[in-house]
Structure 1
Amino acid sequence: MDLYLKVRHAHFQDGLSGRQIARDFGISRDSVAKMLAYSEPPGYRRTAPIRRPKLDAFTSQMDQWLAEDRSRPRKQRHTAKRIFERLRDECGFDGSYTIVKDYVRDRKRTGKEMFVPLSHPPGHAQADFGEALVVIGGVEQKAHFFALDLPHSDACYIRAYPAANTEAWLDGHVHAFAFFGAVPQSVLYDNDRCLVARILPDGSRQRTQRFSAMLSHYVIRDRYGRPGKGNDKGAVEGLVGYGRRNFMVPIPSFPDWHAFNAHLEEQCRKRQGDVLRGHKVSIRERLKADLAA
């Protein structure tokens, strides 16, 4: 079960492809497909609820404390140990800490916000910035890298800059569109201050002047994730992590930013080729659809 959870999290939360997951976990792509289709191993179904003779009388009290915690500061919420101590001291519980810990872990897990995987029609992109340490001209420093992902085909583009400012955002788009040889119909963004001057009461965005000019030039429709909801653009969030792990480990060292970006562009081209070879016609057609949309 633990492997199922890790595989599904890698795909649905981190945005990794089936091929990359198979490589990372050392399993076949058929196994990955099965794990993505089922939330638990097929055939494993519990037919009766779990019985906890020593704990069942106290579960409603634990549920109440956990529910109250949702409105409390994170650092002042019950741990499993604190719940066990309160049950023992205030409620006469004489069971073990382990069964309390297991129950609390399961309740916290099922109480987390869950997300349904999104479908990705062709011609729509997601963009974001990530950070990583690099050595440029012999000086170790932080690189801010622009990432643009085409989720339908899994094609990507990454370019690094000394700062994630307006110039970097605009330049990243220009180079990405040149790399793909096409412009997407829309791009999904977060509410970065370089792009969004402010969010209006009706939920619409007041764009910055230079960003608005770029959108007008390329005739792109801008879309935005909800504030604080990174999962809305999970594909590019996954790409940021993928690029950092695969293109920037060990810490890259280049004489200048131009050389570093030439390397990143080559890695994106190589990744795109690997995806096409791994999935043959289906992904190739998806890429064509992305670029033709």
Structure 2
Amino acid sequence: DFGEADGYIGGKKIRFHYFCLDMPHSDACFVKAYPTEDTEAFLDGHLAAFAFLGGVPQSILYDNTRIAVAKILGDGQRRRTQAFAELQSYYLFDDKFGRPAKGNDKGKVEGLVGYSRRHFMVPLPVADDFDALNAQLLDGCKKRQRAVLRGQSDSIAQRLVRDRAALMPLPATPYDASHKQSSRVSSQALVRYRTNDYSVPTQYGHQAVLVKGTVDWVDIYLVGKPECIAHHRRSYAKADFVMNPLHYLALLEKKPRALDQAAPLQEWALPAAFERLRRLLEARMDKRGRKEYIQVLRLLETFSIGQVEHAIGEAHHLGVLSFDAIKHLMLCAIERRPPKLDLTLYPYLPSATVGTTDAGSYLSLLSQPALVVQAAIRGSV
């Protein structure tokens, strides 16, 4: 079952949802918090609970949540949702459902929802993020196992040992706890998932895609292809835009004048070395300098910010600021080989002129020793 509670996450007071699983024989519990109650949280809660228990219960009792039940049929049977049917067929547990609006049919877990709120979430929990909050809740579940409940002679932990002996083994590979949705890339290289838009590289515009959403991530695939073309942290805002600036650089390379107006780049926080590089490139090469700067940014499609920043620093130190030089210096640093730069490719660098030596110039030096000796003799007289 799911419950709701308030807490301070990342310095903000929010209302979150928490997944509860109760083991009736041992009274062991598992509780995990999520930003919202949805299919992704439902699936992830099961996987986390099974991992915590070390196995899969033979049967689980549910309420009639829409996440699991698509429709209640006339004979009392349930038509399961696709996500729940896949989860059940993967772990092979039996399902049972309480009567609609009859919470007492599953009083144990209903009691756990209230117990968790009173004991784990009072006073209001404070955590940096949901990972930290769930670490607190997991610690609370473990500490509760020390208790010996009324009418019992053994602790929850001791009785949990017997529960675990009856569990089915976990599969070798965990279930893919993602909500899958078909979609299509818009003309702005965006894909909508759960009211929010996520970017993909511009070359995939108007193509059909498969979106896999989990509690933390949104992954986007071309239909029928195994390669993930976009990977984003999931947003729980409404009508939000989640854009990766790297997805738009290929288009900006063709339209460099749009660099300053490109919305995906407006909040892109890059080290100061990048802005300095842009100023110098545009000062020396004007429009071509802006295009070269975009080419340098495109190196981030393959390499880390730290690697590119280091190469920019080396290029600035050597006075060879250009895309080719920065790429060359970075590859040399990665491959641990000395750089070999062709200075003829950098006409803006000051050049040195070395004249041809004339052998006759050395004749003037032949008389210098005699002059030095004469001067020394005069000085000693």
Q: TM-score, normalised by structure 2?
A: 0.42
Tell me the amino acid that sits aligned with residue 223 of structure 1: K
Identify if the C-alpha distance between structure 1 residues 284 and 161 changes in structure 2 by more than 3 Å, giving closer, same or farther. closer
Give the secondary structure class of the aligned counterpart of 1:274: coil
Residue of structure 1 equivalent to 2:105: 232
Distance in 2 of aligned mates of 1:227 and 1:156: 24
Distance in 2 of aligned mates of 1:284 and 1:193: 33
- How far 1:205 moved relative to its partner? 0.6
Q: Deviations over 1:3-51 (max 9, x none)?
A: xxxxxxxxxxxxxxxxxxxxxxxxxxxxxxxxxxxxxxxxxxxxxxxxx
Larger Rg: 2
Residue of structure 2 equivalent to 1:292: 165
**Among candidates 127, 135, 141, match of residue 268 of structure 1:** 141
Residue of structure 2 equivalent to 1:156: 29
Identify if the C-alpha distance between structure 1 residues 206 and 283 changes in structure 2 by more than 3 Å, giving closer, same or farther. same
Larger relative contact order (Cα-Cα within 8 Å, sequence gap ≥ 6): 1
Distance in 2 of aligned mates of 1:288 and 1:193: 33
Residue of structure 2 equivalent to 1:169: 42
- Is the counterpart of residue 181 in structure 1 residue 54 in structure 2? yes
Distance in 1 of aligned mates of 2:69 and 2:125: 32
Distance in 2 of aligned mates of 1:131 and 1:193: 17
Distance in 2 of aligned mates of 1:138 and 1:144: 17
Distance in 2 of aligned mates of 1:178 and 1:281: 24
Q: Deviations over 1:209-230 (max 9, x none)?
A: 0111111111110100000100
Q: Deviations over 1:44-93 (max 9, x none)?
A: xxxxxxxxxxxxxxxxxxxxxxxxxxxxxxxxxxxxxxxxxxxxxxxxxx
Tell me the amino acid that sits aligned with residue 160 of structure 1: A
Residue of structure 2 equivalent to 1:218: 91
Distance in 2 of aligned mates of 1:204 and 1:154: 29
Structure 1: which 4+ aligned runs deviate by more than 4 Å? 282-285
- How far 1:289 moved relative to its partner? 2.4
Identify if the C-alpha distance between structure 1 residues 282 and 133 changes in structure 2 by more than 3 Å, giving closer, same or farther. closer
Segments of 5+ residues of structure 1 without an aligned counterpart are: 1-127
After superposition, where does 1:108-119 map in structure 2 within 5 Å? none
Q: Deviations over 1:231-269 (max 9, x none)?
A: 000000000000000000011110000000011001001
Distance in 2 of aligned mates of 1:258 and 1:284: 24
Residue of structure 1 equivalent to 2:13: 140
Tell me the amino acid that sits aligned with residue 135 of structure 2: A
After superposition, where does 1:1-293 map in structure 2 within 5 Å? 128-275=1-148, 279=152, 281=154, 283-284=156-157, 286-293=159-166
Give the secondary structure class of the aligned counterpart of 2:146: helix
Give the secondary structure class of the aligned counterpart of 1:211: helix
In the alignment, is the contact (CA less than 8 A) between 2:54 and 2:164 conserved in 1?
Answer: yes
Percent of residue pairs identical: 59
- How far 1:279 moved relative to its partner? 4.9
Q: CA RMSD in A?
A: 1.9
The number of residue pairs the alignment matches comes to 166
In the alignment, is the contact (CA less than 8 A) between 2:147 and 2:155 conserved in 1?
Answer: no
Distance in 1 of aligned mates of 2:123 and 2:95: 35
Identify if the C-alpha distance between structure 1 residues 243 and 131 changes in structure 2 by more than 3 Å, giving closer, same or farther. same
Greater percentage in helix: 1
Q: TM-score, normalised by structure 1?
A: 0.54
Distance in 2 of aligned mates of 1:283 and 1:172: 21
- How far 1:281 moved relative to its partner? 3.8
Tell me the amino acid that sits aligned with residue 208 of structure 1: T
Segments of 5+ residues of structure 2 without an aligned counterpart are: 167-381
Give the secondary structure class of the aligned counterpart of 1:193: coil
